[in-house]
């Protein structure tokens, strides 16, 4: 039976419609094609990329035998060299595309993605992100950082080799600004943030929870927009990935490893988007009203959205997703119940 649910984290409605599962051509790939062309992200091909910004390695920069590697994006959407000054033309206003756009190459291997990395490799991936977040936050012009991964054609990837993008901006995207405002008002009423109460209720309900490790919990959210969508949340107020302790990074690595093992067991090789939602990098005129309570009210999340089908006209027209599998059923399958 269909059901319309409210996603309290993103403040969107989601239509859970199991009958849609019977649509034709709703399969997911059971194998992936490995490009045989020279890949600039593979170990030994460092000459084909810009000089690295950071790497986990035991030898000299820009040479083979690394574990993770961060480079500037050749096709960058923003540029760090620009001046941050607004321009007005009548009612129209713009700012230069100042910012940072970096690529974190997750692994030296072309055929490894998060679902095939071991816990140590995932921990190296997270440690690299922590170091880059810390570094980017030192540029006070940058106030928002988007950390995301597109894996597979259905998820918008244009490069087969697994990688993560970091895009830092001098403005806060509107959907993030709206969430900060909602979270602030929620905190003023309840003394708790939105994610804190979502996690509390998911733990109380139990039926959508996949696993817990240390201060982290993985669950299929009540109003999942995608079949087999998983959110990993902190169980205490940690506003950003770079605020985690070394042990917390280790625990998070283990939980991510477990979640992707579950997903791969059900879906085989699958396309997905992955992104972190974290507190602002720095204080500016947009963020100053939220920063005094951010460490008490904000919990960062990691969202994993398998892309086993594409959006159609209804989703584009309404901004409302149709999910063909109830999250309770997804959680049962992933847990192996």
Range 180-185, long-range pairs (CB < 8 A, 24+ positions): 180/280, 180/287, 180/290, 181/290, 182/11, 183/290, 183/297, 183/298, 184/289, 184/290, 184/293, 184/297
Counting Cα atoms < 13 Å in the Cβ hemisphere of 111 gives: 7
What element of type H or E holds 301? strand 301-306
Output the pLDDT for position 2.
57
CA distances from 82 to 79, 91, 142, 282 (A): 6, 23, 12, 18
* 115, 136 contact by CB (below 8 A): no
State the angle between helix axes of 119-136 and 246-267 in degrees (0 to 180), rounded to the nearest 10.
120
Nearest Cα residue to 228 out of 184, 286, 171, 267: 267
299-331: b (≥16 Cβ within 10 Å) or e? bbbbbbbbbbbeeeeeeeeeeebbbbbbbebbb
Nearest Cα residue to 213 out of 244, 243, 240: 244
Range of the domain at 47: 3-335
CATH number for the domain spanning 140: value is 3.30.428.10
Q: Where are the beta strands (DSSP E) in 92-215?
A: 92-94, 100-105, 144-151, 163-169, 209-213
Output the pLDDT for position 271.
94
- Token code pair at residue 59: 């030898």
* 84, 122 contact by CB (below 8 A): no
Sequential DSSP letters for 208-255:
TEEEEETTEEEE--TT-SSTT-EEEEESS---SGGGS-HHHHHHHHHH
pLDDT digit string, tens, across residues 89-140 = 776 777 777 889 999 999 999 988 888 999 999 999 999 999 999 999 999 9
- Token code pair at residue 248: 């917390």
Indicate the pTM of the whole model: 0.90
Q: How far apart are the first and last CA of the chain?
A: 22
CA distances from 21 to 208, 262, 275, 323 (A): 20, 20, 25, 9
3-class state of residue 29 by DSSP = coil
Work out how many domains the chain is built from and give that number.
1
User: What is the full per-residue pLDDT of the chain (337 aa) written as tens digits?
Assistant: 557 677 888 887 776 767 555 544 444 444 444 454 589 999 999 999 999 999 999 999 999 999 999 999 988 888 877 776 666 777 677 777 788 999 999 999 998 888 899 999 999 999 999 999 999 999 999 999 999 999 988 888 888 899 999 999 888 888 999 999 999 999 999 999 999 999 999 999 999 999 999 999 999 999 999 999 999 999 999 999 999 999 999 999 999 999 999 999 999 989 999 999 999 999 999 999 999 999 999 999 999 999 987 777 877 788 788 898 999 999 999 999 8
């Amino acid at each position: 039976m269909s059901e319309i649910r409210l996603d309290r984290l993103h403040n969107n409605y989601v239509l859970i419609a199991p009958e849609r599962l019977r649509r034709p051509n709703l399969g997911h790939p059971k194998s992936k094609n490995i490009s045989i062309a020279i890949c600039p992200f593979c170990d030994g091909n460092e000459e084909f990329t810009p000089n690295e910004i950071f790497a986990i390695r035991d030898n000299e920069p820009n040479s083979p035998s690394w574990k993770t590697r961060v480079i500037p994006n050749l096709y960058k959407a923003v540029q760090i060299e620009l001046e941050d000054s607004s321009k007005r033309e009548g009612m129209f206003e713009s700012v230069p595309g100042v910012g940072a756009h970096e690529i974190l190459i997750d692994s030296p291997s072309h055929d490894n993605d998060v679902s095939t990395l071991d816990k140590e490799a995932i921990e190296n991936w997270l440690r690299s992100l922590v170091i880059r977040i810390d570094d980017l936050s030192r540029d006070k012009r940058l106030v928002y950082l988007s950390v995301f991964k597109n894996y597979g054609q259905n998820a918008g990837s244009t490069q087969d080799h697994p990688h993560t993008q970091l895009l830092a901006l001098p403005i806060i995207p509107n959907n993030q600004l709206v969430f900060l405002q909602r979270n602030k008002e929620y905190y003023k009423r309840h003394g708790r943030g939105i994610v804190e109460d979502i996690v509390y209720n998911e733990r109380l309900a139990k039926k959508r929870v996949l696993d817990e490790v240390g201060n982290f919990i993985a669950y299929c959210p009540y109003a999942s927009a995608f079949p087999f969508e998983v959110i990993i949340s902190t169980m205490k107020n940690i506003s950003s990935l770079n605020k985690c302790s070394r042990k917390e990074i280790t625990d998070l690595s283990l939980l991510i490893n477990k979640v992707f093992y579950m997903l791969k067991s059900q879906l085989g090789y699958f396309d997905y988007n992955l992104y972190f939602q974290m507190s602002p990098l720095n204080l500016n005129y947009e963020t100053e009203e939220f920063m005094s309570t951010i460490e008490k009210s904000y919990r960062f999340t990691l969202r994993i959205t398998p892309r086993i089908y594409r959006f159609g006209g209804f989703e584009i027209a309404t901004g409302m997703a149709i999910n063909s599998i109830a999250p309770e059923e997804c959680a049962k399958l992933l847990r192996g119940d």
